[in-house]
Chains A and B, each alone.
Chain A
Amino acid sequence: MQMNQGRTWLRQYASLKSMFWISLAILAGALSLMMGINVQSDAAPAKPAAKTEKASAQTASANTQLLTLSDLGSPDGHTLKTVRSERRYAFTRPQNWKVSKNTAIQLVFQHSPSLLPERSHLNIQVNNRILKTIGLTKNNIKPTRVTIPIPPEILKDRNTLSFQVDQHYTYKCEDPFSPELWTSILPETKLALHHQIQAIQPELAQFPFPFFDDLSYDAARVGYGIPSGLSDESLSAAGKVLVKMGQWASWRNIYPFILKKAPLQQADNLILIGTPEENQEIKALAAHLPLPVKGATDGQDVNWFTDPEGKTLGKDQGVLQLLAHPNAKGRMVLVVTGNTPKGVLNAARFLVQNPVNKLMVGKYVIVEEQHAAKPHPFRDWQGFVQTADKTTFADLGHDTLTARGITALPLYYTAHVMPDLFQAGNNPATLKTIFSYSSQADGSQSKLEIRLNGKAMKSIPLNNPEGEAQKVVEVKIPAAELHTYNEIEYQFFLYPDKYDTCKFVTDVHLWGTVHNTSSIEVPAQIKAPMPDLGLLNDGGYPFTANPDLTDVSLVLPQQASATDLNVMVQLLTRLGRLSHSNSGIELKAHHENTLPEEARKSNHLIAIGKLGALKLTENLSSKLQLLVDEVSKSVASPETSGSLLTKLRYKSDQGLMEEILSPWNDNRVILLASGESDTALNRLANLFQQDKRFGALEPGNVAVVNATGSKSLQLLEKGEARFINKQGGNGGLTLPQWGWFLLYFFAVVGLFSLIRFLFLK
């Protein structure tokens, strides 16, 4: 249960984002150092939510991006303290922008009245170029507004805006940490990026650009043309594309939606899926497609794709086509199609399979043959501690990091632990830190502090005047302190030798490094108590335990509505964002009448549909922990010994979600996403679409979704729980390395005894 406490989905991605910002800050710091600047920066990395906030940054006009300090990671502004201090902010220039000349920083600042005007200055710098030096005088003690133009030619794809202050309150003995030393960059400060949007040429080699641009500030809006009447194969194709697009999006903000109007009237990036027969929107686009559709333009009633020479493509051949959106500059339309549903499925399989999808070049690809992808290994989650064995920071995808100077930045590392790594009892985890530090630090004051999830765990004195290289220190982490998403923070406190405020000191030679050979060891077994909706929030478990979703089947009502499809789009995109497959996507999607027996027995099932429309629930009525009583408008647990355990009234506009153990397989679960009305289903869709709401999903087996976000998400206690730990019911023996060692040893001893028994008796 402890694994489920305090987790939010956002945290998982926060770490990635904080790593990005930290890396930028460190890179900038390194550059400055190389130029000989004595940088004493107290710059903190941008807050983890910066990406989300960036995406919500106001757009003053079609060609102006306004970034507030909040968007850049300092919602309350930033105060520059000590005699020398610097704060850096990273910002980007999206690929299809041409930045205009009136781009500027709108700075609002104030400072301490004690500063000596002749010795106190604020520098505003972009990419090593000082754009303005402002004297900190009596005239700008109160909030002062200054507009500083940014020459467009100095901007690159990734940029650094920096505020550097050098401030003093006395010529005599000066305490560099005096509270009188401060200059505040106020939250009203903005970066106004004026720009023009450039046209883009369709090129599959660049896909998923422009659907995703790492440099963009906007959420990736993707409209899906997925009609209701798709065959199971085309529906599976859609499911694969949705999951893969989610994986491509990852931490980026994405807003997927089902097209409700003609594609050319929707000025967004679009993906149309199906045969021309199944999806009339593809037929309507025929005149724009790079590969012609016979029949669509010559009046014949055939609708076959042909190759450039006019030869009709085979039934199993898939087609991927990318074209510039005819009515929206800078937008693209991707068509995943073929002459038959199997062709559509083949096209989708190719599109989502790494690394062969990188073979795409040009505006179209004809997939002649394909086969299933090589499976992504079970439980091989990038960036997670996966076993009880030692996991190095390098295994988690982290670099060695260095912090510098008297105001050294904290170094952040994430240590995510797989949600099914079950820590029974109180066996502590071991964090082994390997670090180095510089010579000539004051041994009485300098130290390294290690914090886990904001709590200080250990303080190590840095008292060797010669410095140390790759020193090792171990910290025991109580089981209760380790969650699924953990952040380890290393704070170096570095003071120069014989520090004295009345004598000159310098800290340019002081640094501390944490090596990515550091490791964490979690004594645990691989098992997870199920069912638990909260685990969805822990990386999409158990559906993403196989990151290619090879054991997941999605089930829709026989007559799937647009609302059902909307839930499918949001749910599968979310599962994609929570997972990462190095191979393909093996999810299957079915209408419930055509759900194969094998899939029902072998796979996790995700069933979407309105109450009553899904016949599958009838087969599950004895297994559901909470039964829906349509007459009394309530959900309740089945009677046990004649009494109801729980009863919760619900309304017709509330979305319902329940996870149960599969009656057909001990190691599989079924997720039901349901409701009585379109409103209820749309609320479920919103739950999966919005990071904040999804991040609030907590442990339990049932969730009721209201309109007002996470607070309205009411949960019931978990019912029958079971540990599952095997893949397909045939998981192998899982032992730590020492276990294998012992097993091997006993086997040899046993063999020896047998030989002795046979030959020496």
Chain B
Amino acid sequence: MNITLQKRFLWLFSLLIVAFQLVWSCFGCGWITVAPAVAATKAVSLTFFDIEDVILLPTVSSQRVIPFTVPKTWQLQSGSKLQVQFQHSDALIPGSHLRILINEQPVKTIPLTHNNAGKTVVDIPLPIAKLREHNTLAFQVEQHYTHKCEDPLDASLWTQVLGESRLTFQYNTKPPVADLSQFPYPVVDPTDYSPSKVHYLLPASPALQDIQAMAYLNTHLAQFAHDHEVSADITLGNSPQKLPGGQTHLMVIGTPAQNKHVKMLLTPQSPYRVENGQWIHGKTKTVVSDETGLVFYALNPKNPHQLVTVVTGNTPQGVFKAAQYLTALPRTDAFKGGFLSVNPSWSPPTSAINSAAPYIEFDSRMFSELGFSTQTVQSINAPPITYEIPVVTKIDGKNANLTLSLQYSYSPELNPRFSSLELRLNDRSIANIPLTNPKGEKSLSQNIQLPAELLQPQNNLVAQFHLMPDKYGYCVDTYKDDTWGTIHESSAVLVGGQPTPRLPDIGLLNKTGFPYTRFSNFQSTTMALPQDPQQVTLKTLLATTTRLGRSRVGDSPLQLKVVQAQQNLPTEGDVIVFYNPAANEENMRPSVNGPGYSLSWPELGIKQYNQPDGLDWRIQDVGTGGYLAQGLLPNNNRIVSYFWSTNSPTLSHISNFLNHDRYFEMLTSGGLKQLPPVGYQLNSILSQGEQTPAGWPWWGIALTALAVFLIAGVVGQRLGGK
């Protein structure tokens, strides 16, 4: 009996061990669920989807479609619902209704009656079985004020869906799939409604390559996230006070000798082991070469819900190589599983795609290059088609101009008296193209000069189709509206002449990241750090790489450079300096030039304002402000931006400013911006750019040339006479 029991225990124990090994090995395969589900609720109001305060549904029939997502890690539960808040015109007659569709399937039809003309709230369960990762929510109305002759444009035909309407998701979280082939997912999930949070764990005194690896990884994550907010933080050292919770992804960077987290996260199933602070092959027991990089996923032992990415190697060079490999685009060999080692002989591909930057600098751009696809709108209340076009140079209308080369199509059966394609630039109407062919047109082309006086760094170009059906009027028998208009992605913005640079202008960082995003691999960008960067300085570096990465979709292996104060700044390319006033390093000290003056920070707490004629200011204050500035470096008018503050809390404040779209979008044109210690309302201090000395007027040049010609003639005549 006892023997039997012993055997049973042994069997059970063996089974447990096998099961345990399977768990770990399968975790490495990437398909295992590593933590139990967690129940949660997320409410998302319609204002999240960039709508105005309300969705207006005018005319007899109209529709508004809103895309929404369900993150892969959510298992929706039955309590999920859509709450619609709406109101409508009192004039609507029975038969009018509001229909709500999800993924084009009706989920509710609400009659629009006198009883629900005021603000009305209706809860609709979400059809969770029909929801996918990407979904659409549509509001459709059919509404009438009379059974007799009806004007479909009558102003009493309206229904408003209020911005407070919201989607409420009840869900259980599924653990993400730990498969490096999907990297950067799940570290960054653009379908999530919350910003992706990433926390880097670096050695107490990170090597420059460790920092560079972090910069690469973070830039790569941001390029993948694009419109999705990413918030990155950092802890230096092996004894973090308190690591962030399970919603944050941890990124451990460094060698096992310097970063103790690496060994802690190592699993028995790993093909490599750490001995004496070094990586060795599990089978051969040989030390991993200095040039080999290693990457693996693990779970935080203290928090089994938290996924950790480890980027490591036996030397900082190996660590950096691992980061280069993990971020290299386009992917040449799709890596799989939860562990990978980078061959020492591997090097990033040298041929970069570096697609055209999505803004106007000196060259023309197709709409497709600016990120705009072909768009079609329908019916009498066709919504405007909006294009955000950044122009990062000065277009003055004399030396340079912009022309819109528009490719458009429209449907037959339009009323030629009223139908047109109107173009508005920054809320000003600039052109109207009559749509007069009763048979419609395909891919017509028209050039429209964009008035230079309206052009700004950020431009809002609107193409508004006014589509009036042919048989349209109060009392037509068969009112039919099958009209449509299309703007093709083959349209282009053409640059004529020679635009002049607008730099330095810190405001151009907003939306475009210019000039640092000229190349999608950031090959002309250098980030300069103090010699011993503090944690808060590296957090600012992270916020900056996040912002730049999100401004430019990646397509090539990164070539961003990171240097420290003891090194000289590069002689080419543009630079971002993270200055530490306490370190007071000479070559890092900000010096910002404005029109006719410069501003410097010679000592801690002292600001020095210099003018060429010696009209100087020097003031002392508590120095709690943060600064964002831009100036010129010697050699080819290269651009240098400075981010700094005299104390850590405000520097952290700057990181927050860079991280959050709602703050960063307040960044406007200027040479120097001051961020007060409280709030995010920037003060503009220096005006934009350098003043260029006025050139000679053309007639001055012409007359001088004439004078020289005459004198030469006289002299020539005299010499010839001799």
The finding on whether chains A and B are genuine partners in a shared complex, rather than unrelated, reads yes
Q: Which residues does A use to contact B, with CB under 8 Å?
A: 26-27, 30-31, 33-38, 84, 118-119, 121, 123, 127-130, 133, 135, 154, 164, 166, 171, 201, 203-206, 307-308, 350, 353, 355-356, 358-374, 394, 400-402, 404, 436, 438-440, 465-467, 469-470, 496-498, 503-506, 508-509, 511-513, 515-517, 741, 744-745, 748, 751-752, 755-756, 759-760
Q: Nearest-CB distance from A696 to chain B (Å)?
A: 38
Q: How far is the CA of A370 from the CA of B616 in the complex (A)?
A: 6
Q: From A496, which residue of chain B is reached at the shortest CB distance?
A: B418
Q: How far is the CA of A185 from the CA of B684 in the complex (A)?
A: 42
Q: From B616, which residue of chain A is reached at the shortest CB distance?
A: A371
Interface centre among B382, B427, B611 (most CB of A within 10 A): B427
Residues of chain A with a CB closer than 8 A to B402's CB:
none
Q: How far is the CA of A30 from the CA of B384 in the complex (A)?
A: 11
Residue contact B56 to A440, C-beta cutoff 8 Å = no
Inter-chain contact total with CB atoms closer than 8 Å: 249
Residue contact A748 to B449, C-beta cutoff 8 Å = no
Q: From B464, which residue of chain A is reached at the shortest CB distance?
A: A33
Q: From B646, which residue of chain A is reached at the shortest CB distance?
A: A361
Within 8 Å of chain A (Cβ to Cβ): is B278?
no
Residues of chain B with a CB closer than 8 A to A38's CB:
153, 155
B 591-613 binary contact with A (CB < 8 Å = 1; else 0): 00010110100000011010101
Q: A135-B91, A201-B678, A759-B718 are in contact. Are A36 and B56 (CB under 8 A)?
A: yes
Q: From B87, which residue of chain A is reached at the shortest CB distance?
A: A130
Residue contact A30 to B427, C-beta cutoff 8 Å = yes
Residue contact A748 to B703, C-beta cutoff 8 Å = yes
Interface centre among A37, A506, A512 (most CB of B within 10 A): A506
Residue contact B430 to A469, C-beta cutoff 8 Å = yes
Q: A130-B87, A364-B621 are in contact. Are A358 and B674 (CB under 8 A)?
A: yes
Within 8 Å of chain A (Cβ to Cβ): is B614?
yes
Q: Nearest-CB distance from B617 to chain A (Å)?
A: 5
The 7 closest A-B pairs by CB, nearest first: A361-B625, A166-B155, A205-B676, A438-B432, A369-B618, A504-B473, A362-B622
Contact residues, B49-93 vs A (CB, 8 A): 52-54, 56, 58-59, 62, 87, 89-91
Q: How far is the CA of A759 from the CA of B711 in the complex (A)?
A: 11
Q: A469-B449, A504-B472, A509-B418 are in contact. Are A365 and B621 (CB under 8 A)?
A: yes
Residue contact B676 to A511, C-beta cutoff 8 Å = no
Q: Interface majority SS on B: helix, strand, loop or mixed?
A: mixed
Q: From B687, which residue of chain A is reached at the shortest CB distance?
A: A355
Q: From A466, which residue of chain B is reached at the shortest CB distance?
A: B434
Contact residues, B281-336 vs A (CB, 8 A): none
Within 8 Å of chain A (Cβ to Cβ): is B156?
yes
Residues of chain A with a CB closer than 8 A to B419's CB:
509
Residue contact B160 to A359, C-beta cutoff 8 Å = no
Q: Which of B87, B427, B703 contacts A402 (CB 8 A)?
A: B427
Residues of chain A with a CB closer than 8 A to B153's CB:
38, 506
Residues of chain A with a CB closer than 8 A to B596's CB:
374
Residue contact A436 to B155, C-beta cutoff 8 Å = no
Residue contact A400 to B454, C-beta cutoff 8 Å = yes
Q: Nearest-CB distance from B87 to chain A (Å)?
A: 7
Q: From A366, which residue of chain B is reached at the shortest CB distance?
A: B620
Contact residues, B443-465 vs A (CB, 8 A): 448-449, 451, 453-454, 462, 464
Within 8 Å of chain A (Cβ to Cβ): is B146?
yes
Residue contact B714 to A755, C-beta cutoff 8 Å = yes
Residues of chain A with a CB closer than 8 A to B149's CB:
171
Q: Nearest-CB distance from A593 to chain B (Å)?
A: 31
Interface centre among A164, A201, A355, A513 (most CB of B within 10 A): A355
Q: Nearest-CB distance from B211 to chain A (Å)?
A: 30
Residue contact B453 to A362, C-beta cutoff 8 Å = no
25 A–B contacts from the bound complex (CB under 8 Å): A33-B464, A34-B383, A36-B59, A37-B56, A118-B91, A119-B91, A123-B155, A128-B52, A128-B53, A128-B54, A133-B91, A135-B90, A135-B91, A203-B678, A205-B625, A355-B686, A361-B624, A362-B625, A368-B620, A369-B616, A469-B448, A470-B449, A509-B432, A511-B422, A515-B451
Q: How far is the CA of A27 from the CA of B428 in the complex (A)?
A: 10
Interface centre among B53, B607, B619, B714 (most CB of A within 10 A): B619
Residues of chain A with a CB closer than 8 A to B611's CB:
374
Residue contact A118 to B710, C-beta cutoff 8 Å = no
Residues of chain B with a CB closer than 8 A to A370's CB:
617-618
Residues of chain B with a CB closer than 8 A to A307's CB:
620
Residue contact B162 to A129, C-beta cutoff 8 Å = yes
Residues of chain B with a CB closer than 8 A to A350's CB:
617, 619
Q: Nearest-CB distance from A439 to chain B (Å)?
A: 4
Q: A36-B383, A127-B53 are in contact. Are A361 and B674 (CB under 8 A)?
A: yes
Residue contact A367 to B619, C-beta cutoff 8 Å = yes
Q: Nearest-CB distance from B194 to chain A (Å)?
A: 22
Contact residues, B146-169 vs A (CB, 8 A): 146, 148-149, 151, 153-156, 158, 160, 162
Q: Which residues does B use to contact A, with CB under 8 Å?
A: 52-54, 56, 58-59, 62, 87, 89-91, 117, 145-146, 148-149, 151, 153-156, 158, 160, 162, 381-384, 386, 397, 417-420, 422, 424, 427-434, 448-449, 451, 453-454, 462, 464, 466, 468, 472-474, 594, 596-597, 599, 606-607, 609, 611, 613-625, 674, 676-678, 681, 683-687, 699-700, 703, 706-707, 710-711, 714-715, 717-718
Residue contact A498 to B420, C-beta cutoff 8 Å = no
Q: Nearest-CB distance from A392 to chain B (Å)?
A: 9
Q: How far is the CA of A33 from the CA of B429 in the complex (A)?
A: 11
Residue contact B462 to A744, C-beta cutoff 8 Å = no
Residues of chain A with a CB closer than 8 A to B449's CB:
469-470
Residues of chain A with a CB closer than 8 A to B474's CB:
171, 504
Q: How far is the CA of A484 from the CA of B454 in the complex (A)?
A: 28
Q: How far is the CA of A136 from the CA of B692 in the complex (A)?
A: 62
Residue contact B473 to A205, C-beta cutoff 8 Å = no
Residue contact A439 to B706, C-beta cutoff 8 Å = no
Interface centre among A34, A466, A752 (most CB of B within 10 A): A34
Given A498-B417, A752-B714, list of 7 further CB < 8 A pairs?
A: A31-B52, A36-B56, A307-B620, A361-B624, A374-B596, A496-B417, A511-B429
Residue contact A205 to B674, C-beta cutoff 8 Å = yes
Q: From B57, which residue of chain A is reached at the shortest CB distance?
A: A36
Residue contact B621 to A360, C-beta cutoff 8 Å = yes
Residues of chain B with a CB closer than 8 A to A128's CB:
52-54, 56
Q: Which of A36, A171, A439 contacts B434 (CB 8 A)?
A: A439
Residue contact A206 to B432, C-beta cutoff 8 Å = no
Q: A37-B56, A171-B148, A205-B683 are in contact. Are A359 and B674 (CB under 8 A)?
A: yes
Q: From A174, which residue of chain B is reached at the shortest CB distance?
A: B474
Q: Nearest-CB distance from B399 to chain A (Å)?
A: 15
Q: Which of A363, A373, A504 contacts B151 (CB 8 A)?
A: A504
Q: From B673, which residue of chain A is reached at the shortest CB distance?
A: A358
Q: Nearest-CB distance from A387 to chain B (Å)?
A: 15
Residues of chain A with a CB closer than 8 A to B431's CB:
436, 467, 469
Q: Nearest-CB distance from B78 to chain A (Å)?
A: 31
Q: Which of B429, B615, B616 contacts A404 (CB 8 A)?
A: B429
Q: How far is the CA of A355 from the CA of B596 in the complex (A)?
A: 12
Residues of chain B with a CB closer than 8 A to A508's CB:
418, 466
Q: Which of A374, A513, A741, A751 contacts B430 (CB 8 A)?
A: A513
Residue contact B381 to A359, C-beta cutoff 8 Å = no
Residues of chain B with a CB closer than 8 A to A206's CB:
676, 681
